[in-house]
Structure 1
């Protein structure tokens, strides 16, 4: 009997949290490089910049049962001035873009954790093709512009839809199969 090729295993449970372990921070940097340098060609050899020195990296970690496996999503946040926070470098591994709500979960933790830290305005430059996702997540377009040779939208989150999350170091679980999110134990 002949069997066809099997699809690669993809986790269905993810922990979305601040990157606190060294391997999580390295995984976020690797994923950003894969997406923004290798795949999209937005940056030459490295996408890191001065913001990385002050930014808080957030990761979506695939879970194998109770064991963390790999960083499959990331975003970074930083406070640019008192009360004004920015999100940037949102990336999800190619194999996980259609698995579940990883991008939305990363955005939720980014805005809600900043909200818990005194955020009164949360902004991001969003690639135009991702504008609809952000609009569905209660973001408004402030301005259209070009960055890195591509069309972007300056967008602002409606903080009323992002209640503060105080325990971002633990974060929450995002389940791909049901598209639901539950608090970490």
Structure 2
């Protein structure tokens, strides 16, 4: 009997960067529609608003042979007032939520990008099920609010934990840790 070598699938990496190509912007909009309209039913037809016109849209891109393949995560940031930045519409495709740290990496790029642009305060309205994640990422809860009929926590990032990222379009390549099965 020939013993077969056991092989493990190695997860590809992900680009975490500002959307700079049309397919990235369209992929982010489609992902937000799937998550906020179809999955969570927070909005009826779409979640787009006036902030989309001024926001910087960030994406997590899966890769195929080290080339960007599809948008699997997104978040947007905008400066509401001088030095006051907001993050919103954080979404990760349901098929990729088990991939380690995609949401966290998008949050990191969001705050680091704003920090490089002179941010003194970075806020977000976080859905209640995600508050624990944000606390682990050095965010402080401020107050509970209801937005679009959904409970949220207004939270603030601890900026000293997020070094400035001067080139969010370049972003970075994130390779999740591989979890070997227990024997």
* TM-score, reference length from structure 1: 0.89
Pair 1:157 & 2:177 matched:
no
Q: Distance in 1 between matches of 2:22 and 2:10?
A: 23
Q: Any conservation in 1 of the 2:17–2:60 contact (CA below 8 Å)? A: yes
Deviation >6 Å, runs of 4+: none
* Pair 1:87-2:87 in alignment: yes
Asked if structure 1 preserves the Cα contact closer than 8 Å seen for 2:144 and 2:151, the reply is yes
Residue 6 of structure 1 is matched in structure 2 by none
RMSD across aligned positions (CA): 1.5
Give a deviation string over 1:28-63, Cα, whole Å, max 9, x none: 000000000000000000100010010000000001
1:21 alignment counterpart: 21
Alignment length (residue pairs): 171
Unpaired stretches in structure 1, ≥5 consecutive residues: 1-8, 180-185
Q: Is the 8 A contact 1:11 1:63 kept in 2?
A: no
TM-score (norm 2): 0.90
Greater Rg, structure 1 or structure 2? 2
Structure 2: 5+ residue stretches without partners: 1-8
Kept after mapping to 1: 8 A contact 2:13/2:66: no
Quick check: 2:10–2:178 contact (8 Å CA) kept in 1?
no
What is the deviation of 1:10?
9.3
